[in-house]
Chain A
Amino acid sequence: MKLLVVEDDQLLGRCVVKGLREAGYVVDWAQSGDEGWRLLRAGEYDGAVLDWMLPGLSGVAVVQRHRARGGQTPILLLTARDSTDDVVCGLDGGADDYLVKPFDFGVLLARLRSLVRRGYGKPGPVIRVADLELNQPMREVRRGGERIELTPREYKLLELLALRADQVVTRTEIWNKLYESDDDGVSNTIDVYISYLRRKIDRGRTPLIVTRRGHGYMLRGKPCDPPSAHDCLS
């Protein structure tokens, strides 16, 4: 999952970015409203954390511009302004959520999980695809009730596929959302992780992870149609 953090305070920005990265997110950090607006317009983020008072464009102005362009990215305003008017102004400006500084980092993480899920149209904390269950708050994966241990990176990959269940997720997209831009990887890194996942999730069961050759991968919730049966075998 890829997030954008726009925060001009060095310490807070650094800590939030570090905490989010440790929680498994890929994070871009902008330190001014203008830079934030440029990144938000260009990149496909699963969520954005915006400070209100920023050098250049204010956080609310960024939200308004983004929404005016039809941007769907879920946005959480992080701000020191706590009056009722400010909250109303922020939410009416197009923000999805509002958190007043100082805040509990656990709360920020929970709100971001919720925002990202909603962005994918999955409001519940437990994502179900066929008999596969992802419990987001617990970071727990079960298939047919049986618990499966995953590494953080495998979990993030599976989470992305589950959120986009029954849709093809391209390799580029997976790379963008799971790896920092300065990560150096080999071209088949993703294929390797997909094969790890298959081993843990699909071995000995009806396969859920489907390869669409030349396109990407898909986590299939509905039964296969006969014509595309060969996909299931790959």
Chain B
Amino acid sequence: MRPSIRTRLLVLTTAVISLVVIAVAAVVWLRMSRSLRQRLDESLRAQAFAVASRLEEEYGLVQFDSEASEKTAIELFGDAFIQVLDGADNTMYASPPGWFERLSPPDRSPIIETDGVAFFDADSSDPQVRLRLMDMRLTISPSDDAKALRARVLVARPVGDVESTLTQLAWTLAGVAGVSILAALVGGHFVARQGVHQIVAVAKAIAQVAPDHPRLEIDLQRVPVELDPMIEKTGSLLCLIDRELERQRQLTADVAHDLRTPVAGVRTLLDVCVQRDRDAAEYVETINTARAALRQLSQLLDDVLTLARLDAGAEQPHVMRVLIKDVIRDATEIVRPAAIARGVSIECDGDCRVCIQTDPSKLMKILANLLSNAVGQSLPGGVVHVGTSADGNGCIIHVRDSGPGVPADLRNSIFDRFVRDDRARSGDDGHHGLGLPIARGLARLLGGNVELANTAGPGAVFHIRLPMQDNADVGKET
């Protein structure tokens, strides 16, 4: 069975209260019983002394084996049984006569034995009557110088009264204990319910968190302080999940929009085309338009898939020795048609003869993305500069455009997906705001980064930082 706080609290509370009650009852009973028996023994002793004083009257000086001092004459009690034995255990005196013969001899060891006085619990021949027996030894020294006489005084009293009082007390105590345990059960139930009430409320609030908008709606004033760490952690985790979900939703919506719109374009193009008969030239034009649109669409799909692979960690760099100059040349070739169409030229500063260990095709993709952006941002007639610098730690490839620069409100989000600076662009040029996130993702895969440089003056400058050695591999070896 799984643990339940409520059951645990109930059982523990009840058990603790019950144990305390039972212990108290037991102590009360034991003390009571001891005190009653002591009083019984006191009265036996008093009677024994009374008997002894009678003996003294009859036979002269009685010397007790015990050091008991007082020998007060006390009236004999009616319900006591008394027997006096001489040294040879012959009965000298018995009251009532003959009764002690019916008493089963106390063959057990005495319960209390001090200074020649012993107390026994004895059974009489009458099974209803249990007795307390006192056996006192003494020496009688007669005044007429006769030989001193050793004697025993036996005094017995029934213990029925004491026992019935104790039994009554035991029943009363048991009753009180039973009621207390019942009360403990009820109290324990209440304590358990109150104890888990707040926890149950918090658990319910957490259970009610909606999966699509996870937010913890709970009144902190009513949460027990012990749960604070859990509430704080849960709240911050849910907040993170919510933000991530929102980001995913936004991304999905962006991907959906950017995929659906070109698909809708091609579909409408073809739907409209077959709406009526057209001449051959028009069909050819339609097909060419559809092909161009599908080319763009597959480019977008490639970009989305690249990002997905980067996210999933499925991209692996293939590291080799690379001359930066070659990569810049290849990337420039890819972007050149767009640059020519826009009237923008690309210039390489310096000879860029830096050699590093990296993945050339991924570096080329990074550079091509940056160059393509730079061309798009530059005004017709503008120049895009690309160059390299290196120090001990690594090398930096910089790409500078001659456009208006990245606006201040986009500086922080320019590397986010589907964020574009549309000011200098025509509405539909196949750019979806994935170029920079891909460039940054690939650069990080290569152990470097892509950053927007803080520069004064017109034109945005992007830096590709790369390690000289492949850091990823170095990291793996150590």
Q: Give A contacts to B, CB under 8 Å.
A: 8-12, 15-16, 18-19, 22-23, 31-32, 53, 55, 79-83, 100-106
Contact = CB atoms under 8 A, between A and B. Distances in A.
Given A11-B266, A53-B257, A22 B276 contact: yes
A11 B427 contact: no
B289 A11 contact: yes
Nearest to B259: A80
Contacts of B259: 80
Q: For chain B, what secondary structure do more than half of its interface residues adopt (helix, strand, loop), or is it mixed?
A: helix
A104 B271 CA distance: 7
A8 B261 CA distance: 10
A22 B293 CA distance: 22
A11 B300 CA distance: 16
Contact of B428 (A10, A104, A105): A10
B268 A19 contact: yes
Q: How large is the interface on B (under 10, 10 to 19, 20 to 34, 35 or more residues)?
A: 20 to 34
A169 to B, nearest CB: 28
Given A8-B427, A9-B428, A15 B275 contact: no
B220 interface: no
B268 to A, nearest CB: 4
Given A31-B427, A82-B256, A11 B265 contact: yes
B257 to A, nearest CB: 4
A11 B275 CA distance: 17
Contact of B275 (A8, A83, A105): A105
A31 B422 CA distance: 14
A58 to B, nearest CB: 12
Nearest to B422: A55
Interface of B: 253, 256-269, 271-272, 275-276, 289, 293, 422, 427-428
Nearest to A20: B272
A105 B272 contact: yes
Contact of A9 (B265, B267, B272): B265
Please give me the 3 A-B residue pairs with the lowest Cβ-Cβ distance, nearest first.
A105-B271, A11-B265, A19-B272
Nearest to B212: A85
Contacts of A9: 261-262, 264-265, 427-428
18 contacts: A8-B428, A9-B262, A9-B427, A10-B428, A11-B289, A11-B428, A15-B268, A15-B269, A18-B272, A22-B272, A22-B276, A80-B257, A80-B259, A101-B260, A101-B263, A103-B267, A105-B267, A105-B272
